[in-house]
Amino acid sequence: MSGHTVPADFSEHMLDLDEDEDLEVFTKNTSLPDGSPLPNSPSSMVNQYRLEDDDEGKEDANTKDIFVTVDHPESQVTAIETFILYRVVTRTTRSDFDSSEYEVRRRYQDFVWLRSKLEEKHPTLIVHPLPEKFVMKGMVERFNDDFIETRRRALHRFLNKISEHPILSYSQHFQVFLTAQDLAPHRKQGPGFLSRMGETVRAVANSVRGLRSRPEEFAVMQEYVDDFSNKMCCMDKVSQRIVKEQREYVDDLKQYSPTYARWGELEEELTEPLKGVASCVVQCSKEAEEHIQHLSEVLVPALHEYVLCAETLKAVMRRRDNIQAEFEAKNEALLTRKAEQEALQEEVDVLADRMEQANNSLKGDWVRWQHSMKTDLRSAFISAAEKNVEYYEKCLAVWESFLVSQRAEASGGQEDVA
Amino acid sequence: MADDGREESLGTDDDSDQTGADGSLNNTMVEEGSTLMRRMEICIAEAEKRSGKNAVSMQETFTVYLIETRPMDAVAEGHNPAPDCLWRRYSEFELLRNYLIVTYPYIVVPPLPEKRAEFVWHKLSADNMDPDFVERRRVGLENFLLRVASHPVLCNDKILCYFLTERVADRLYGVFKVHGNYGRVFSEWSAIEKEMGDGLQSAGHHMDAYAASIDDILEEEEHYADQLKEYLFYAEALRAVCRKHELTQFELEMASQDLISKKQQREELATGIVRTFSFKGMTNKLFGQEAPEQREARLKLLEDLIAEGEETVKEKTIERAEHVEKAWVDIQRFKEQKDKDLREALINYAVMQISMCKKGIQVWSNAKECFLKM
């Protein structure tokens, strides 16, 4: 049962998974449309993923065999409640899907169900977070357009992250989520409330007992997670503050230009340059508004997403700790209680296996997650920097053309223009 | 300070308008509750030496004073929010005072401390940079602000508010400075990342540079603002010229009226015909006309007065014509000057914006390079 050595990187070994239906995926002989063999193990897929380091987009298109989109939010009104349904479209070449195209409608609760199933099944894999249920700050109405759009984008990202995950994308629950017209019957299955309660109770008990010691690499990981979480929260706050300041700046600017325009009306010689300045200010404030829009749509959500990721990481670390604690507890019992040795030994072995698996899953997924984080944030920062450059370039053009027009006029009349 | 404010209000004419329904003077010094003094805590915390280019692009050294304001309610509640601060130099205080004098001609505007260190008793030379002088000036300027802010009329002036808590530039200041926080967080974050560390660190430096660049930009904007402000105060001077014109016109009209009425009286006396109703006419009818000698005397007096009146009218007419002519010439001159100055100011503003954009492009391009290398 436990003949595995502990690998530093799980990508060299097949994962021992609990449920049979997932194993099926790995043994089927399949190939891509162009004849090359479909990667049929998480390990080889992870390797492939790593190779995609430098040219993300291109390679993804070649090796990605499942494409998911979330769009068309629609409001649903029933006797009891009102909610939003999102359209989820899947296109895939995978053979374990009966068809190559699916279209279903899902609500936020369905996504929550999917994620909790994934976490249950893979407690130490890093499952991408969902957008928050409520937005407390600013009291955003649930059905406000901006809120819905932001949520839709986040849900889209969520499903894409899952579909890109070498293990999670092959989850049965994921497949059901993408394909079943009616999710209700599937949602009724599974451990459910009581088992979650049990897990919580165990977790509390374990935290009371405390871990004997965390393996070095996980101690390092924990420290990183705590620091990362702090930094992300700061980044999130700073970015939101910048957006706020810029909004106020634009509001002020908007008061500026009518003043120049009105002044211009009262003047004679100065009318033209004053109107010119007024128009420049108007154009610049438009550019600034566009800039703010971009920040709110790209950088702020990206940073916020990773704030949520940090929370996910913390939960993963906790679950891993619990698994280790449970093993240690049973192990201790084995050592102290002389009776029932055999029965206890079996249990200890099971728990030891489970712990090893959990640790390996986490280690492997950790690397993948870090890579993904770097890619995501790097691209968000680059985009933000580019937008800043663009904003300044546009404003520069506006003022330069004003200057040209003034100097052209001036060279006709006055001599000592700066 | 509060007491001084009260004393001052008693001295101004304006207060008599505000005696209020119950006629009590208390309504005027209205509860200093309503004056700026109550709403805002004001102080001049520091003085600093600066050197920079002045309006004619010459390098000069001068002292700036830090004005700190804090909303009073926040202080009362025990919060201690960071005060709004801005730096101003003596000449700006002068501009403000001139503006107040012209705008509220009926108010005794508090004085400023002396401009030059004319009399520094224990030093040999008069030096504006002398620390004692600077300190005395700081106190004097603070006093000036406090008195103005506790004046029931002056405290509501918009220009005064702007002087104390300049706004638009502040917003931009906020935007830039918050990016400095990026610099700090990037730096801390880079410490925990392996691959991204270097990129984050260097990007952080650019964010710091970006945050710092606003200081130069604001300094330039201040020059521009000063140029506009000067013409803002000129507006009042123009108004004064117009008022003078109105005054001479008025005086001329009064003199003419006076002359006309005197001539009319003469006519009545001379002809005995009363054109308009008058009590004199009535009494004459009722009690008989006056004796010829009296009439002669009165006529003579009238003639003298009329002659005087005609002189006056002539003078006033000349005065008005002169005023109009001279004023008009000077107004034309002023207009030309203003158009030239302001046009130049607007162009400089554009140049400044361009410079700011170029700096922005540079910083963010550099930051982008760092991110690309991450």
B231 contacts in A (CB within 8 Å)?
none
Alpha helices in B105-154 (DSSP H): 131-149
Q: Is B74 near chain A, with CB under 8 Å?
A: no
Check if the beta carbon of residue A51 is closer than 8 Å to that of residue A154.
Answer: no
Question: Among the CATH numbers 1.20.120.1630, 3.30.1330.100, 1.20.1270.60, 3.30.450.20, which is that of A205-407?
Answer: 1.20.1270.60
pLDDT bracket for residue A12 (50, 70, 90): very low
Mean pLDDT on B124-128 = 63
Tell me the per-residue pLDDT of A255-270, one tens digit each, with 9 for 90 and over. 888 888 888 888 888 8
Could you give the 3-state DSSP secondary structure of residue A69? strand
Q: What is the mean pLDDT of residues A170-187?
A: 89
- Mean pLDDT, residues A399-407: 90
**Pairing assessment for the beta strands B40-53 and A101-107 based on DSSP bridges:** unpaired
pLDDT at A56: 45
% of chain A surpassing 70 pLDDT: 75
As separate numbers, helices (DSSP H) first and strands (DSSP E) second, chain A gives 12, 3
In the predicted structure, residue A141 carries a pLDDT above the cut 70: no
Query: pLDDT band for position A140 (50/70/90)?
Result: low
Lowest-confidence pick of A245-249, A285-289, B18-22: B18-22
CA gap B190, B201 in Å, rounded: 6
* Chain B residues in contact with A228 (beta carbon < 8 A): 189, 192
Among residues A235, A115, A278, A92, which one has the least CA distance to residue A187?
A115
Q: Which residue has the higher pLDDT, B76 or A267?
A: A267
In sequence order, what DSSP letters do the residues of A310-369 get, joined into one string? HHHHHHHHHHHHHHHHHHHHHHHHHHH--TTHHHHHHHHHHHHHHHHHHHHHHHHHHHHH
Q: The tokens of B311 are what?
A: 């002189």
Give me the sheet containing A101-107, strands edge to edge: A66-77, A82-92, A101-107
| Residues of chain A positioned with their CB less than 8 A from the CB of B211 | none
Chain B interface, best mutation among A275, A370, A389, by max B CB count within 10 A: A389
Q: What is residue B64's DSSP assignment?
A: E
Strand partners, A77: A82
pLDDT the model gives residue A186: 81
Q: Closest-CA residue in chain B for A392?
A: B357
Element (H, E) at B48: strand B40-53
Q: Helix-strand-coil percent breakdown of chain A, rounded to 5? A: 70, 10, 25
- What was the pLDDT predicted at B35? 61
Burial class (CB in 10 A: 0-12, 13-18, 19+), B100: buried
Give the nearest chain A residue to B189 (CA atoms). A231
Asked whether residue A39 carries a pLDDT value surpassing 60, the answer given is: no
Fold: same for A62-184 and A205-407? no
Q: List the one residue out of A263, A15, A281, A14 whose CA is nearest residue A124.
A: A15
Q: Specify the pLDDT at position A147.
A: 84
A206, A288 in Cβ contact below 8 A?
no
What does the pLDDT read at residue B19?
Answer: 40
Instruction: Report the distance separating Cα B151 and Cα B36, nearest Å.
Output: 8
- Distance from C-alpha of A376 to C-alpha of B209, rounded to nearest angstrom: 25
Percent of chain B whose predicted confidence (pLDDT) is above 70? 75
Within an 8 Å CB–CB cutoff, is residue B228 touching chain A? no
How many whole angstroms separate alpha carbon A13 and alpha carbon B19? 93
Residue B297 has pLDDT above 70, yes or no: yes
Distance from CA of B83 to the nearest CA of A (A): 17
Neighbours of B64 (CB within 10 A): 17
Name the least confident of A163-167, B71-75, B193-197, B333-337: B71-75
Contact criterion met (CB < 8 Å) for B343 and A406: yes
Q: Tell me if residue B94 falls in helix, strand or coil.
A: helix
In the block, tokens 């004199």 appear at B280
When the pLDDT of each residue in chain B is averaged and rounded to a whole number, the result is 78
- Residue B301 contacts A, CB cutoff 8 Å: no
Of A366 and B279, which is predicted with more confidence? A366
Q: Are B61 and B134 in contact (CB under 8 A)?
A: no
* CB contacts, 8 Å: B181 with chain A: 234, 238, 241
Sequential DSSP letters for A79-104: SS-EEEEEEEEEEE--TTSSSSEEEE
User: Which of A54, A226, A369, A378 to mutate to test binding with chain B, by most B CBs within 10 Å of its CB?
Assistant: A378
Is A418's CB within 8 Å of B351's CB? yes
Instruction: Please compute the mean of the pLDDT values over residues A159-175 and round it to a whole number.
Output: 93
Phi and psi for B193 in degrees, rounded to 5?
A: -100, 145
Kindly provide the ipTM of the predicted complex, given to two decimals.
0.75
Among A16-20, A167-171, A344-348, B48-52, the range of highest mean pLDDT? A167-171
Tell me the domain boundaries of chain A: 62-184, 205-407
* Distance separating alpha carbons of residues A377 and B99, to the nearest angstrom: 53
- Orientation of helix B158-165 relative to helix B90-103, angle to 10°: 170
Residue A368: CB atoms within 10 A of its CB come to 19
Distance, in Å, from the CA atom of A234 to the CA atom of A240, rounded to the nearest integer, reads 10
CA dihedral B234, B238, B244, B245 (to 10 degrees): 170
- Which residues in A lie closer than 8 A to residue B198 (C-beta atoms)? none
CB distance B348 to B224 below 8 Å: yes
Q: CA B280: distance to chain centroid?
A: 55
Fold for A62-184, please state it: PX Domain (3.30.1520)
Q: Do A388 and B347 touch (CB under 8 A)?
A: no
* Whole-number pLDDT of residue B158: 72
The pLDDT value given to residue B78: 62
User: In angstroms, what CA-CA distances link A170 with A26, A37, A39, A45?
Assistant: 9, 17, 12, 12
Phi, psi of B71 (to 5 degrees): -65, 135
In the sheet that holds B84-89, the strands lie side by side as: B40-53, B59-71, B84-89
A393/B348 CB distance under 8 A: no
H helices of chain B, where? 2-11, 36-39, 72-76, 90-103, 131-149, 158-165, 168-192, 197-271, 279-287, 292-373
Length of chain A: 418
Q: pLDDT tens, A268-302?
A: 888 888 999 999 999 999 999 999 999 999 999 99
User: Tens of pLDDT along B250-284?
Assistant: 999 998 998 898 888 888 877 776 666 666 667 76
Q: Is the pLDDT of residue B26 over 60?
A: no
Q: To which residue do tokens 């010689």 refer?
A: A269
CB A253 to CB B181 under 8 A?
A: no
Residue B25, pLDDT score:
37
